[in-house]
Amino acid sequence: MAHLLPVLLLLASLRLAQAQYFNFPPPPSSPPTPTPAAEPPSRVAGRNHPSDSFICNDPRSSCFGRNLTCPPQCPAFRPANPNEKACFVDCSNPTCEAVCGSRRPNCNGVGAACRDPRFVGGDGIVFYFRGRANQHFALVSDAGFQINARFIGLRPAGRRHDYTWVQSLGILFGRDSLTVVATPAASWDASADHLSFAFDGERFDLALGHLSSWSAGDLFVERTTTVNSVAVALPGAFEMRATAVPVTEEDDRVHHYGVPAGDCFVHLDVQFKFAGLTERVEGVLGQTYQPNYRNPVKLGVAMPIMSGEERYFLPSLLATNCNSCIFSPEAAAGDGDTSSTIHRQSSWIAQAR
């Protein structure tokens, strides 16, 4: 056997050299341990990190002092995957339970204003507000903030009223303002961003990408998808979800809008939540949050119409002087009386910051 040892060593060295030349790993001395398949990121996150929670800290809320924990089905207020459901907390909910849902607008939920435009009031009643194309109206006007909308639209031959959509929002609070605009497009490209923003009249860029954010003081703006959807929060006042959407060919066919070629009427679907509204809150949508409000729209019809154009008309997107507006910059800055409030402690994004 001794005379075979040099031969065996030579063969072994040749085999190793061949393996290194072709970048093959040397043969293992023992069978490798199988590597388990990686778990989905959401499961890994759920396993490694506890569910988010939120303490209801206002003594006027139904769940005061309770620590509401997100359920396993949606453990995070701000999930890393935009397609996963998020956790939502409403401290005024008698069940005192966190629930799962989408971070994009729910057009059938309270506080929604979608499509042409269809509102769901604070009283839960659905109504339509026509407004007028290329004009501005106050959606919400309270002592501490105001939310205005610019309507776009068209009027086909033979119609008495415009078809309208909310194209931009002007939000005023204290002495500051935020505008959120659905930018025009000849045709819809879902991969492109159709939103633009300005703070106090100066445009700012919100980086593309899920969960990219921008803030100024207490104001917080965050993308909830890569493009076209955002959440906006001003703690103690409101939170908003907004998505830029087009008027589709199917919408045009079903509703006979008569949308011309070269303009897909990009507009905003939005949904609001409010906190600390005064009992005198006004606006197309805001009035429906008054505690003794009696909705005048005709129920049981296909399109219950809300009037009020003359009460809520504004000369520009950031104007505050509609006939029924009550917004006061001094009150928002802490100089006014906001003691008579309707308190609803709830949050879509503020508790996750």
Question: Of 16, 11, 270, 15, whose CA–CA distance to 148 is shortest?
Answer: 270
Tell me, yes or no, whether 220 and 254 share the same domain.
Answer: yes
Residues 53-77, mean pLDDT to the nearest whole number: 94
Place of tokens 């409010």: 274
| Position 342 pLDDT exceeds 70 | no
CB contact at 8 A, 217 and 234: no
| Position 44 pLDDT exceeds 70 | no
Tell me, yes or no, whether 211 and 177 share the same domain.
Answer: yes
Please, which pLDDT band fits residue 219 given cuts at 50, 70 and 90?
A: very high
| Position 12 pLDDT exceeds 80 | no
Give the list of residues 6+ apart from residue 244 with CB closer than 8 angstroms, or none.
182, 183, 193, 194, 195, 228, 229, 266, 267, 268
CA distance linking residue 33 with residue 175, whole number of Å: 64
Tell me, yes or no, whether 134 and 167 share the same domain.
Answer: yes
Full residue range of the structural domain in which residue 87 is found: 41-101
Q: Residue 35 domain-assigned?
A: no
More confident residue, 49 or 270: 270
Q: Residue 176 domain-assigned?
A: yes
φ/ψ of residue 208, rounded to 5: -65, 150
Please, which pLDDT band fits residue 29 given cuts at 50, 70 and 90?
A: very low
Tell me, yes or no, whether 85 and 125 share the same domain.
Answer: no
Q: Residue 140 domain-assigned?
A: yes
Q: Point out the domain boundary residue: 85, 101, 117.
A: 101
Position 334 scores a pLDDT of 63
303-307 contacts, C-beta under 8 A, 24 or more apart: 303/128, 304/125, 304/126, 304/127, 304/128, 305/127, 305/128, 305/129, 305/130, 306/119, 306/127, 306/128, 306/129
Provide the token pair at 89: 């907390």
CB contact at 8 A, 251 and 257: yes
Q: Residue 16 domain-assigned?
A: no
Please, which pLDDT band fits residue 157 given cuts at 50, 70 and 90?
A: confident
Domain count along the chain:
2
Q: Point out the domain boundary residue: 86, 101, 116.
A: 101
Q: Residue 131 domain-assigned?
A: yes
Q: Give the 3-state secondary structure of residue 155.
A: coil
Tell me, yes or no, whether 130 and 96 share the same domain.
Answer: no
Q: Residue 29 domain-assigned?
A: no
CB contact at 8 A, 194 and 178: no
Residues 222-236, mean pLDDT to the nearest whole number: 97
pLDDT tens digits along 94-108: 999 999 999 999 999
Q: Residue 268 domain-assigned?
A: yes
CA distance linking residue 128 with residue 49, whole number of Å: 44
Tell me, yes or no, whether 81 and 227 share the same domain.
Answer: no
Position 60 scores a pLDDT of 86
Tell me, yes or no, whether 114 and 224 share the same domain.
Answer: yes
Amino acid letter, residue 223: R
Tell me, yes or no, whether 71 and 219 share the same domain.
Answer: no
Tell me, yes or no, whether 91 and 223 share the same domain.
Answer: no
Residues 289-301, mean pLDDT to the nearest whole number: 95
Q: Point out the domain boundary residue: 74, 101, 128.
A: 101
Tell me, yes or no, whether 157 and 260 share the same domain.
Answer: yes
Q: Residue 15 domain-assigned?
A: no
Tell me, yes or no, whether 70 and 211 share the same domain.
Answer: no
Tell me, yes or no, whether 84 and 130 share the same domain.
Answer: no
